Amino acid sequence: MKRTVTHLADGRELIYFDERDDASRDAVDQRELPPPPPASEMRHDPVLDEWVAIATHRQTRTYKPPSDECPLCPSTPRWPSEIPAPEYDVVVFENRFPSFSHRVGPAQDDVLPGLVPARGAAGRCEVVCFTSDHNASFSSLSKDRVRTVVEAWADRTADLATRDDVEQVFCFENRGEEIGVTLSHPHGQIYAYPFVTPRTRRMLDSARRYARGNLFADVLAAEQADGRRIVAENGLWTAFVPATARWPFEIHLYPRRQTPDIPSLTSAERDAFGPLYLEVLRRLDGMFGLPMPYIAAWHQAPVRVDRDLAYLHLQLFSTRRAPGKLKYLAGSESGMGVFVNDVRPEEAAEMLREVRL
């Protein structure tokens, strides 16, 4: 794989990950762009002990452009996009409308003195383009291309983890308008947070209280022994519907070996991930014969704390519960955080296994 670093017209970094060593990346971004925005504001909620980002500049971000004006497609003489090259394999670049950024201004005063401190939302947000084909999807990628994407995730996780203003790196993909996607080109994102996220803190707190070994490893072993919710597996990865699934169709992918993050995966584990993940995505799309909206979220260890407790895994879930029907977060889920699932996890796993590929 060839890695090439360049910069866009406004100074944002762009990185090509090419599958050919002879790929030429001399194209220059000719656009006239304003400077990137300063970092957003963060406010700490003392009741929930959570940071909230206030990113008002994101109101003007690109929203559902026509396909011939897609900012993630390769540039053409008529349409200069975010990617100057006329073609590419995998590309990562700084988000033009970031929620978190290293461009932090002067220190900010508390919003409520002694209760709600405010500070610049340091960190970084990146976009990961999986393919130059606007009409593709992750499930249509080749195994080799998925391997390149994994290398990009590993590269960015390792690089971002070296920054003083980053405490956790989150790689994810949102797919489908039902999820809220506003750019249909196949892509994911990477958030480098200046704090450990609430969900990760809660998971690691549970792992810390668990006295019989590693909590995540024991959950994986128990699901493998039970077998009813296994969707697919190979010698190095297991995909299963968790016994406590919150979403109608929710699948977790675990490496067989405990490891803290994507950079820690061996070459064999990186090779084995793609075929299994593609099978899972194609089973998901085959459920109702139409593309399933989903969120795919990598859970990695924080950069500096509790790395011994963490266990890298991918959580994939869809909001579609039946053809033409979506699961919305209603009163119990949104108001109290108590999920009510419409589909029994064992039945969801069986439905996924029965999809003809």
Instruction: State pLDDT tens for residues 263-315.
Output: 999 999 999 999 999 999 999 999 999 999 999 999 999 999 999 999 999 99
pLDDT exceeds 90 at position 238:
yes
For residues 296 and 298, what is the distance between their CA atoms, to the nearest angstrom?
Answer: 7
Q: Of 335, 339, 260, nearest to 299 (Cα)? A: 260
For residues 256 and 236, what is the distance between their CA atoms, to the nearest angstrom?
Answer: 5
Q: Look at residue 221 in the predicted model and tell me its pLDDT.
A: 98
For the segment 249-255, the average pLDDT, to the nearest whole number, is: 98
Number of H helices, E strands in the chain: 5, 16
From the number of C-beta atoms within 10 Å of its C-beta (0-12, 13-18, 19+), residue 128 rates as: buried
Sheet arrangement for strand 41-45: 50-54, 41-45, 118-120
Q: Look at residue 336 in the predicted model and tell me its pLDDT.
A: 95
For the segment 213-231, the average pLDDT, to the nearest whole number, is: 98
The CATH homologous superfamily of the domain defined by 199-353? HIT-like (3.30.428.10)
**Beta 41-45 vs 50-54: how paired, if at all?**
antiparallel
For residues 15 and 84, what is the distance between their CA atoms, to the nearest angstrom?
Answer: 11
Domains of the chain, by residue range, sit at: 2-198, 199-353
Query: Do the domains 199-353 and 2-198 match in fold?
Result: yes
For residues 214 and 207, what is the distance between their CA atoms, to the nearest angstrom?
Answer: 7
Which residues are known catalytic residues?
187
pLDDT exceeds 90 at position 110:
yes
Q: Look at residue 317 in the predicted model and tell me its pLDDT.
A: 97
**Cα–Cα distances in Å, from 190 out to 18, 155, 161?**
19, 12, 12
Q: Look at residue 176 in the predicted model and tell me its pLDDT.
A: 94
pLDDT exceeds 90 at position 316:
yes
Across the chain, mean pLDDT equals 96
For Cα atoms 82, 83, 88, give the angle at the middle one, nearest 5 degrees. Answer: 150
Q: Is 185 annotated as a binding residue?
A: yes
pLDDT exceeds 90 at position 107:
no
3-state secondary structure of 322: strand
Q: Look at residue 177 in the predicted model and tell me its pLDDT.
A: 92
For the segment 150-158, the average pLDDT, to the nearest whole number, is: 98
Q: Is 134 annotated as a binding residue?
A: yes
Place of tokens 């089973």: 283
Containing 279, the helix (H) or strand (E) segment is helix 267-286
Q: Look at residue 59 in the predicted model and tell me its pLDDT.
A: 86
Q: Of 96, 135, 153, 98, nearest to 277 (Cα)? A: 153
DSSP classification of residue 292:
P
For the segment 324-343, the average pLDDT, to the nearest whole number, is: 94
Q: Look at residue 62 in the predicted model and tell me its pLDDT.
A: 86
pLDDT exceeds 90 at position 69:
yes
The CATH homologous superfamily of the domain defined by 2-198? HIT-like (3.30.428.10)
pLDDT higher at 59 or 315: 315
pLDDT exceeds 90 at position 142:
yes
- Six token digits for residue 238: 């297991």
pLDDT exceeds 90 at position 60:
no
Instruction: State the pLDDT confidence band at 183, using cuts at 50, 70 and 90.
Output: very high
Count of positions (residues) in the chain: 357
Backbone dihedral angles phi then psi of residue 165, each to the nearest 5 degrees? -95, 15
For the segment 62-86, the average pLDDT, to the nearest whole number, is: 94
Q: Look at residue 211 in the predicted model and tell me its pLDDT.
A: 87
For residues 249 and 229, what is the distance between their CA atoms, to the nearest angstrom?
Answer: 11
Instruction: State the pLDDT confidence band at 122, using cuts at 50, 70 and 90.
Output: very high
For the segment 227-248, the average pLDDT, to the nearest whole number, is: 98
Q: What is the pLDDT of residues 7-37, one digit of tens each?
A: 999 999 999 999 999 999 999 999 999 999 9
What is the C-alpha end-to-end distance of the chain, expressed in Å?
30
Q: Look at residue 285 in the predicted model and tell me its pLDDT.
A: 96
